[in-house]
Amino acid sequence: MLPISSSASVPGPRKHLSEDEHLFRDTVRQFARETITPLVHAMDEQQKMDAGLIRQLFELGLMGIEIPEAYGGSGGSFFESILAIEEISSVDPSVGVLVDVQNTLCANALLRWATEEQKQRYLPRLATEWVGAYALSEAVSGSDAFALQTRAEKRGDQYVLNGQKLWISNAKEANLFLVFATLDTAAGYKGITAFLVEKSTPGFSLGKKEDKLGIRASSTCEVILDDCHVPAKNLLGESGKGYKIAIETLNEGRIGIGAQMLGLAQGAWNHAARYAKERRQFGKAIAEFQAVQFQLAEMATEIEAARLMVYNAARLKDARQDFVKEAAMTKYFVSHVAERVAGLAVEIFGGYGFVKDYPVEKFFRDAKIGKIYEGTSNMQLATIAKLVL
């Protein structure tokens, strides 16, 4: 298991990493570069996460960073989850989102809203062997998340769920799904309720696996609920309060996506800078040309600004201060930085940047999703405008 900071204090948003955080970050970075890098191309081509890699992520404690040690987790901070997502995504954003959904959405939801019995039952598994997934989106409820049509009906000591979920990350690997359904469509968002649904539950199945532009090793599947019988004890939080769980977990998750896009941008920049020093034209390395130097300098500046935003939002969350505006700003800004930096990295590579033999075309493909999932850029702007005005 990786070293986790034991410090209970929360440094300010611009303070350097603590010694423990440096050690944690450097250990994750080494693991990502040495273990994940050799698998990236094959996983992308096969559109499949390496099973052995998932086991290693659990063994290192990266799938239960915030889960307390009493439940088998690492007992770390949200900020450390963000550091892990950033470093892993600098090598492969597909693996980054696997770790992100597990920590910032699934584990966080249980830590905040699960009963003690539910925590005892599920947190040790999420920390050591079970992948989690977050099932909110549907065909008609994307940005308008509360227009969901999946129904839940109480029958004795069970709830019966019927409906379909789309775009569910981690679905192929997941054992536990956080599913949102409505008990009363006429009640609008006040009918939405959250359930913990195991993959083996009768009436639960996976449908189509999406063939995606980017993050192709990350599974994205349809979830089908056909008279899916869920024990009443698996209701998460209060009946009719699922909207609160959805909103608040997504606010935290947006910082995780910011970390994923930050790592992606840094990874693309690393490759571009290294290539610029190696590639020679007109008798010298292209890094000696001012035009290329200025591009790399602008990219580095934008990455540093993005990093400060991600770290600030994560520090605020750990300090239990309001972070909703900062999370929305972070996801909006950093996803744009990632797309721009990845695009420029392709240009610095020239023709080589356009082929799969070199890594930057994958970063370019992977970057696009940052503006879409866990709240589109337009939705982030709507949130920001509401809060600043």
Residue 9 C-beta-side C-alpha neighbours within 13 Å: 8
Among 197, 319, 318, 185, which residue's Cα sits nearest to residue 240?
185
Phi and psi torsions of 101, nearest 5°: -60, -40
Query: Letter for the amino acid at 50?
Result: D
> Position 148: which residue type?
L
Which of 66, 80, 222, 374 does the annotation list as catalytic? 374
User: 14 exposed, middle or buried (CB, 10 Å; 0-12, 13-18, 19+)?
Assistant: exposed
Q: Tokens at residue 355, please?
A: 């082929």
Element (H, E) at 88: helix 78-89
How far from 132 is each of 14, 56, 102, 308, CA to CA, in Å? 32, 16, 5, 29
Distance CA 269, CA 364 (A): 11
Dihedral sign, Cα of residue 131, residue 256, residue 91, residue 165: positive
CA 39 to chain centre: 19
Cα–Cα–Cα angle for 81, 86, 91, nearest 5°? 130
Length of the chain: 389
Residues 197 and 179: beta-carbon distance below 8 Å? yes
Cα 142 to Cα 69, 207, 215, 305, 372: the distances in Å are 36, 18, 19, 29, 10
Looking at this protein, which amino acid is placed at residue 49? Answer: M
Paired residues of 151 in beta bridges: 162, 182
Catalytic residue check, 117 = no
Q: Could you tell me which residues come within 8 angstroms of residue 102 by beta carbon, excluding any fewer than 6 positions away? A: 63, 64, 126, 131, 132, 170
Closest to 113 in 3D by CA, of 13, 248, 18, 209:
248
Token pair 């040690």: residue: 69
Taking Cα atoms as reference points, which of 53, 143, 138, 139 lies closest to residue 98? 53
Known catalytic residues are 374
